[in-house]
Structure 1
Amino acid sequence: MNNSKRKEILTRLRDANPHPTTELNFSSPFELLVAVTLSAQATDVGVNKATDRLFPVANTPQAIVDLGLEGLRGYIKTIGLYNSKAQNVYKMCQILMDKHNGEVPESREALEALPGVGRKTANVVLNTAFGWPTIAVDTHIFRVSNRTKLAMGKNVDQVEQKLLKVVPAEFKVDVHHWLILHGRYTCIARKPRCGSCIIEDLCEFKDKTE
């Protein structure tokens, strides 16, 4: 795919959704960090149901430490892998209190040192909470990037690096959300909804649906 076609794709996605954001509910960098940590192998809807109960009670590292591990488990037990996630979030809160004065660090290295936080989670937090031009490649972005040929790669790291290289600076902050939402609602895994796709004529996917 050439650069002019890429720019037109991104322009259309921007025109359709000028101010995209995550579908996870959050009101602070800490709430976002917790929500993204809980979202691994879970839906945003499922995470929101849990955090809508948790955050009014405990939405700071100190409050979750005060809640205790068992108390935290009780709020997130509807989410898959809740036992290990509760342990990670609890330990994360202890580290944030001990090393970062209870604040979420605006540093990739510091974020990735937290329990349960990998590159993808760090990218989401840096992008959505702090406005960094990072691109967290999940299954949706991986699929859309390869299917359209916007940025092809054999794994999420390759796709991330290709996107960072080919996406113009003016689109970098928001492209993460555009591609996730496009993959979640239009370019879905089993049968893409090509007939209602605003970039169908630019997409280079060979097996388009009617």
Structure 2
Amino acid sequence: MNNQKRVEILTRLRANNPKPETELNFSSPFELLVAVTLSAQATDVSVNKATDKLFPVANTPQAIVDLGVEGLKEYIKTIGLFNNKAINVVKLSQILLDKHGGEVPEDREALEALPGVGRKTANVVLNTAFGWPTIAVDTHIFRMANRTRFAPGKNVVEVEERMLKVVPAEFKVDVHHWFILHGRYTCLARKPRCGSCIIEDLCEFKDKVYPDE
């Protein structure tokens, strides 16, 4: 795919959704960090149902530590892998208290040093909480980048590096939200909705799917 097509794709996605936002509910960097950590192999909807009950009770590192692993499990037991996630969230909360004054650090290395926080989670926090031009490649972005040929890669790191190279600066802060939302609602994994896609004519996917087929 050439750069002219890429810019047109991004221009259309921006026009369709000028201020994209994550679908995870949060009101602080710490709430976002917890929500993203809980969202691994889980849907945003399931995470929101849990955190909508959790955050009014405990939405600071100290409150999470006070709640404890067993107490936290009661709020997140409907989410996949909740046992390990509860352990990680309590541990990372303690580290934030011990090493960062109870604040979420605006630093990739410090974020990735937290239990349960990998590169993707760090990218989401840096982008969504702090406005960094990072691109967190999840399954939706990986699928879209490869299917459309926008930024093909064999793994998420390759796709991330490729996107960082080809996406112009003016689009970098929002591109991962656009791709996630487009992948979630239009460019579906099994049956993409090509007939209602606003970038269908620019997409280089050869096996497009239409309702009458």
Using the alignment, how far apart are the partners of 1:4 and 1:160 within structure 2?
20
Using the alignment, how far apart are the partners of 1:131 and 1:45 within structure 2?
23
Using the alignment, how far apart are the partners of 1:112 and 1:162 within structure 2?
21
Paired position in structure 1 for 2:181 = 181
Shift of 1:174: 0.1
Match for 1:31: what amino acid? E
Task: Please tell me whether residue 136 in structure 1 is matched to residue 136 in structure 2.
Answer: yes
SS of structure 1 residue aligned to 2:126:
helix
1:101-128 CA distance string (max 9 Å, x none): 0000000000000000000000000000
Paired position in structure 2 for 1:110 = 110
Report matched runs for 1:136-155 at 5 Å: 136-155=136-155
SS of structure 2 residue aligned to 1:124:
helix
SS of structure 2 residue aligned to 1:202:
coil
Shift of 1:209: 1.1
Paired position in structure 2 for 1:22 = 22
Shift of 1:21: 0.9
Using the alignment, how far apart are the partners of 1:47 and 1:37 within structure 2?
10
1:143-170 CA distance string (max 9 Å, x none): 0000001000000000000000000000
Shift of 1:69: 1.3
Using the alignment, how far apart are the partners of 2:205 and 2:196 within structure 1?
15
User: Once superposed, what is the RMSD of the aligned Cα atoms?
Assistant: 0.4
Using the alignment, how far apart are the partners of 1:158 and 1:142 within structure 2?
10
Match for 1:130: what amino acid? F
Q: Any gaps of 5 or more consecutive residues in structure 2?
A: none
SS of structure 1 residue aligned to 2:105:
coil
Report matched runs for 1:1-210 at 5 Å: 1-210=1-210
Using the alignment, how far apart are the partners of 1:85 and 1:17 within structure 2?
32
Match for 1:109: what amino acid? E
Match for 1:111: what amino acid? L
Using the alignment, how far apart are the partners of 1:185 and 1:55 within structure 2?
27
Shift of 1:10: 0.2
62-71 or 81-90: which moved more? 62-71
Match for 2:77: what amino acid? K
- TM-score, normalised to structure 2, is 0.98
Aligned residues: 210
SS of structure 1 residue aligned to 2:88:
helix
1:23-50 CA distance string (max 9 Å, x none): 0000000000000000000000000000
Using the alignment, how far apart are the partners of 1:69 and 1:144 within structure 2?
37
Using the alignment, how far apart are the partners of 1:52 and 1:79 within structure 2?
13
SS of structure 2 residue aligned to 1:14:
helix
Structure 1 runs of 4+ aligned residues shifted over 4 Å read none
SS of structure 2 residue aligned to 1:33:
helix
